[in-house]
Structure 1
Amino acid sequence: MALRGMPDIDSVMKERLALIGSWAALVAGFTGEHVGEPRLIITLVGSPLLHVDFKFVRAGDFAERVEDPDVLWDRDGHLADALAKHPPTLPSLELQWIEDRFWIWVHYGATKLGRGELFEVIGFLTYLREAVLGPPAARRVGAPPRGVRHLESIAPEEARDLRATVCGYDRHDAGRAFLAGVELYRRWRDDAGAAVRRHRDAERLAVQYLHDVIDRTE
C-alpha cells in the first residue's frame, strides 16, 4: 500500500496490523526487520490460509523497485505516474565483493569442518548458496540475483549443479559438498567474463587448507 502525502504516517505505521485486520481475516502478522524491511508486514490470513505480505510505503518511495507490480487500485494516478517515470532497477551483483571475501569464508568453513562442528558447516553451506552461488546462478539466465529464490524454475540447470552442495550430517559428505561449492564458484566466476581481481594466493592456500582438513577426516 502506498501512502501519499499523509502527515500522520507514523500513526498509520503503528496501526498497520489493525488496518490489515479490517481488510482481511488476519490470523497472525509481524514486521519484517529480519529481512531489513521494517515497512513490511508478513501475515497469515484466511481461511483458506494464505501467506500475504503487506508493504506500507509513501507514494514517493513507490518507484524504488526491482520489478513492475500489478496495480489493482490507484485512486488518483500517482502510482502510475511514479512507475512511468522510474523504471525498475535490478539489484547489482558485485563479483569483486564476493571474491574479496570468498577465500576467507572457505578457510572459516574448513576450520568448522576440522572441528567436527557439522551444524555450523551445514549452515555455512546454506549461506554460500544464498550469498555466493545463488545470485550468479540467477544472473546466468538473466534473472534478478535473489539468493536461491525460484532457482529450480528459473535456472533448472544451475539448480541441478547446486544439489552437489547439499549434504547430510556426515563429515565426509560435508567435505564433498564444500568442495563442490568451491568448484562451482570458480566455474561461474570464470564464466561471468567480468573484470575481477582475483586473490590467487588466498585461493590456493584456502583450498589447500580445505583439502588438508578433508584428508584428516577420512
Structure 2
Amino acid sequence: MEYPKSLPETHKQLLDRIVRKIQQDPRIVGIGASGSYATDTLDKFSDLDLVIAVKPEQFESVMDDRFAIVDSIEGKVAAFTGEHVGEPRLIIALYAPNAIHVDFKFVSLPDAAIRVDDTKVLWEQDTLLTDTFETAESKYPQPTPQWIEDRFWIWTHYATSKIARGEYFEALEFLSFIRTVVLSPLALKQANLTPSGVRRIETRLPAFSKKLERTVAKPNKLELTLAVKQCIALYLELREHEVIEKNIDAQKVCIQYFENEIHQ
C-alpha cells in the first residue's frame, strides 16, 4: 500500500493496525480512505475518514457487530454512532496513545459508489471496491444558490427577532449557521473550491475570511447587530455572482424589519 506523503507516522501505524484487523473479516470486501488522506493534505490534527465496504448479504450482520469490530483494534478508548450528523452507519472513534480520531463508515458495497469526495482504496478483495467506485463520480453536497435565496431573508427575520427580544445566544447560533451554510459555501463555490463550510477557510480564502471575521460577535445587542449587517452585506455581494430569481420583496421587508426593530 502506498501512503500519501503527508500521512504522519502516528496515523500510519494506526492505519496499519486497522487494515490488518478489518481485512481478516470475510464479510468485509474493501477499505477506502477519503478526506485529507485522499487529497494528501494530512497533518497531525487530521482525522482518518474510512469507508468499510461490506458484502450486501452480510451488511446487517456487520452493522450489528460494528462496535465489536472497532473495539477489536488496539488502542480504542471511546466510540459512538453518527446520528447527530444523520449517519447511523458511522462510528466515530478515538485511539490511544496519540489521540487520533477515526471515522468508520460501514456501507453495503454498492452504496460505496455514493460518496462526497474522492476515496482511495487501502485494501480490497479482488478489485471489488475499485470497480464500485468507477460506477459513479464523487459529488460534494451543496445547497443551490436559489435554495439559499429562498430562505435567506426569513432567516434574517429570525435573527432580528432574537436580537430584539434579547435572545443573544440564539442569535449567535444563527451567525454560525449562516457562515457555515450560506456565506462560506458560496464564496468557495465561486472560487471553484469544494464548498465545505468554514473548514480551513482561513487558508483557502484568506481575504474572504477577513470579511467573515466581522460576522463574529459577543452576546450583546450592538455586536450582534453589526454582525448581522455584515452577513447581509456579504450575502448581497456574493449573490451578484449567481444567476437566480431574487426575492426583492422579501429582501425589502426583512431589511426594513431589521432596521425598525433593532434601532428601537
* CA deviation profile, 1:22-58 (whole Å, cap 9, x unmatched): 1231111111111111111011111111111110011
Q: Distance in 2 between matches of 1:127 and 1:9?
A: 35
- Superposition deviation, residue 68 in structure 1: 1.4
- Superposition deviation, residue 108 in structure 1: 1.2
Task: Tell me which of 199, 209, 213 is aligned to 1:163.
Answer: 213
- Aligned twin of 1:175: 225
Q: Distance in 1 between matches of 2:210 and 2:226?
A: 16
Instruction: Name the SS for the 2:120 alignment partner.
Output: coil
Q: TM-score scaled by structure 2?
A: 0.77
Number of equivalenced pairs: 213
- Aligned twin of 1:112: 162
- Superposition deviation, residue 179 in structure 1: 0.3
Q: TM-score scaled by structure 1?
A: 0.92
Counterpart residue identity of residue 174, structure 1: L
Higher-helix-fraction structure: 1
* CA deviation profile, 1:132-180 (whole Å, cap 9, x unmatched): 1121022122122222222222222222211110001221010000000
After superposition, the CA RMSD in angstroms is 1.4
Pairwise mapping of residues 124-163 of structure 1 onto structure 2 (< 5 A)? 124-163=174-213
Q: Is the CA contact 1:107–1:209 (under 8 Å) kept in the aligned structure 2?
A: yes
* In the alignment, structure 1 residue 95 sits paired with structure 2 residue 95: no
Is there any run of 5+ residues in structure 2 with no aligned partner, and where?
A: 1-51
Q: Is the CA contact 1:172–1:214 (under 8 Å) kept in the aligned structure 2?
A: no
* CA deviation profile, 1:158-208 (whole Å, cap 9, x unmatched): 22211110001221010000000011011101123x2x1111111011111
* In the alignment, structure 1 residue 213 sits paired with structure 2 residue 261: yes
Instruction: Name the SS for the 1:66 alignment partner.
Output: coil
Pairwise mapping of residues 63-82 of structure 1 onto structure 2 (< 5 A)? 63-82=113-132
- Superposition deviation, residue 213 in structure 1: 2.5
- Aligned twin of 1:23: 73
Counterpart residue identity of residue 215, structure 2: T
Counterpart residue identity of residue 13, structure 1: M
- Following superposition, which runs of at least 4 residues in structure 1 exceed 6 angstroms of deviation? none
Q: Distance in 2 between matches of 1:22 and 1:101?
A: 46
Q: Distance in 2 between matches of 1:123 and 1:64?
A: 31
Counterpart residue identity of residue 172, structure 1: L
- Aligned twin of 2:251: 203
Q: Distance in 1 between matches of 2:55 and 2:203?
A: 37
- Report sequence identity in percent: 40
- Aligned twin of 1:61: 111
Instruction: Name the SS for the 1:30 alignment partner.
Output: strand
Q: Is the CA contact 2:142–2:185 (under 8 Å) kept in the aligned structure 1?
A: no
